[in-house]
Structure formats: structure tokens, C-alpha cells
Amino acid sequence: MRFEQPAGIASAAVWLPRRRSTASDAVAQRDIREGQARELAHPALPDAIGIGAPDMAVRAAHAALRAAGVEAEDVGSVFHAWMYYQGHDLWSPAHYIAGRLGASHALPIGIQQVCNGGATAVELSAVRLAAADAKEYALVTTADRFVAPGFNRWTADYGVAYGDAGTAMLLHASPDAADPLLLHAVSTVAVPELEEMHRGDDPFADAARTHRGAVDMRATKRAYLRRHGREGFSATNERCVREVATEALREAGLRPGDDRIRCAVLPRFGAKTLQDSWIPILAEVVGAELEDWGRETGHLGAGDAVAGVAELYRRRHLEPGEYALVFSAGAGFTWSCLVVQAPNQQ
């Protein structure tokens, strides 16, 4: 989706807890083997204790609002995305976040599209801004906390380990040279048939974690692979990564190897997963430097895309006129790419 006018990104932020769960401890506790730790290549993962996931989003949002010099009451919508449990049943974390921030005029909207929720929230917020008052701000937040007893961050999945974080991005409809970044396009590709990878052979249940005491994506993926084999998913993933990157370039008016493209920001997956399924394709299609900024955080659930933009913002990584492509993907399956640019100086 290319926007008639780019959305301004006023700021973006990540909040990480100080505590860390280390790979060495996970190996010592026999959660994972040494070989698996090497393939993940995350020395440690952020591990939040004593704080709920939505409060991590609130902290990231406060940082983003502060950095942009924007008051919460000027925010017209709050899009909150998450992957895992937010701390209460039958409850809206988006409304809680808006209330805690003092965004009393905002419409809170919850987005639950698993790991790709943050990218989806960015896309929907930009669409809403395009039809809103020119002065309106949209706030996108994500937060996930992958803790016992329901989740083991090291063992719940293949090729991915999970870190706790809150993220936030503040967008508005009237970009100008004062904005550190512009959002030009969002490309998204989905293959609904792959939802079975996270359902497996399990029947529908009456309550959460009925089948197992903790989330076990490995079990459902094993069931899927027994039925369908590995080759089909590998081919589909390659096709979709290639398609979402190609479409993003086209929608932003760029071409592979364009010298204005500074980098492509990878999703925060394990090192082997990236090397096998992402890096060769993006190196070919995008033709720019690939940034792997997830070694110290792991996969942030719904937060990878927003965290990628926040890192571009924090590092002031782009020179005026340069572009970055920020990738994410999630169960369902859905793949997304955000195209952002540092505005040209006037």
C-alpha cells in the first residue's frame, strides 16, 4: 500500500527490562542444547519481572511522546498489538494504555495478528490518518511478556526465542522536514492456509492452554510438517519474502540496488532462521546492507517492526533522503515490509 502522502513518524521508542534470561542458563537447565543456543545466537533475552505487558507499552509510549514533544491529549487513536497474554481475560489493553497515558480523546483499537501485529497496526494507523484531521496523531504500541507458567521463551518455538519489550511509534498526517522519518509504504502478503502450522492436530478447546500447560508451537508445527512436509512451507516463505520486498520497492518508487536504500532491517529471529530463510533472498532482491538488530533482544512478539523503526530513529541511521525497508512476519502466515525515509533537508 502506497500512501498518496507519506505519514510523518514523529518518534519511536522501545522499552526493555533490565533483567536478562541467559542462553547459558537455558543450556544449564537443559531447556535447550548448546547447538540450539549457537543457532539462535542470542546471548541473553530481556526478561520482565513485576510489570504487566501493557505497562511496558505505556512506558515506551511515554518515551515516544516525550521525544516528539507531543501531549497525550493530542493523540486521536491508539493502536495496540500483542501476541501473548496481556494479564487479564476479556479485557482491552488498548483502552488501558490510552487511559494510563491520558489520551482521553483517542479511539483505542486492539490488533491481535500474532507476530505481525505491530506492522499491521502501523498500516491501519496510516490509513486512518489519511482520512483524519491533518493535525491528528496516531500512536502504535506493542507489548509482550513471555513468562512462566504459560510460556518458555527458549523452547516454545523452532528457530526463534522470545524477549520481553514494549514499543511505540507516533505518526501524524502532515509530515514536514522536522520529522526524523517518513512512512512511504507498507507492503503485506498473507497465506491463510498456513494457519494450520499453529493449530496442528489439536481440536478446538473451551479455554486457553487446555491441551498443554504451556504454549508449544513446536508441537503444532510437528503435526503440520508430518502432514505436509517441510518443502512446501520453505518454498512459500521464500516466495512471500521475495514478493513483499519486491512490492514494497515498487510501491515506494524504488528499484533493487537503488543507492538511496541504506538498509533492510531484518525481523528478530534466530540467526540460523535468518540465514536460511531471509538473508539470501533480501540480499538479492533489495541489494542493500542487511541489519540484524535482534541479537540482544530476541523476537519481540508483535513488536519487531516498530522496534526496527525505533532503532533507525535512535541511531539516526539514515542520512537525508535515504530509505530503509523494515521487515516482519507472523503466524497465519503474514509477511510485511515498512518503507521509511529520512526526509530531505530543505
Q: How far apart are CA 345 and CA 281, in angstroms?
A: 33
Render pLDDT for 25-35 as a digit per residue (tens, 0 to 9): 999 999 999 99
Contact 22, 31 (CB under 8 A): no
Q: How far apart are CA 41 and CA 23, in angstroms?
A: 9
CA-to-CA separations, 184 to 88, 222, 243, in angstroms, rounded: 36, 39, 18
Is residue 346 scored above 60 in pLDDT? Answer: no
The grid coordinates listed for 15 are 522499552
pLDDT for position 1: 63
Mean pLDDT score, 199-221:
94
Q: CB under 8 Å to 194, separation ≥6 — which residues?
A: 233, 236, 331, 332, 333
- Smallest Cα–Cα separation from 179: which of 10, 346, 66, 341? 10
Total residue count of the chain as it appears in this document: 346
Q: How far apart are CA 82 and CA 54, in angstroms?
A: 9
Q: What is the dihedral of CA 214, 218, 222, 225, to 10 degrees?
A: 130
Q: Are strands 75-81 and 107-111 parallel, antiparallel or unpaired?
A: parallel
Contact 306, 118 (CB under 8 A): yes
The grid coordinates listed for 312 are 533507525
Q: How far apart are CA 292 and CA 310, in angstroms?
A: 14
Domains 2-176 and 182-341 share a fold: yes
pLDDT for position 344: 85
pLDDT for position 175: 84
Render pLDDT for 289-338 as a digit per residue (tens, 0 to 9): 999 999 999 999 999 999 999 999 999 999 999 999 999 999 999 999 99
Evaluate whether the domain defined by 2-176 bears CATH number 3.40.47.10.
yes
Is residue 134 scored above 80 in pLDDT? Answer: no
Contact 4, 251 (CB under 8 A): no
Q: Give the pTM.
A: 0.96
Evaluate whether the domain defined by 182-341 bears CATH number 2.40.30.10.
no
CA-to-CA separations, 105 to 50, 77, 95, in angstroms, rounded: 30, 8, 11
Residues of the chain above pLDDT 70, percent: 99
Render pLDDT for 38-91 as a digit per residue (tens, 0 to 9): 999 999 999 999 999 999 999 999 999 999 999 999 999 999 999 999 999 999
Question: Where in the chain are the domains?
Answer: 2-176, 182-341
Q: How far apart are CA 18 and CA 38, in angstroms?
A: 23
The whole-chain average pLDDT of the chain stands at: 95
Q: CB under 8 Å to 296, separation ≥6 — which residues?
A: 42, 43, 44
Residue 104: DSSP 8-state: T
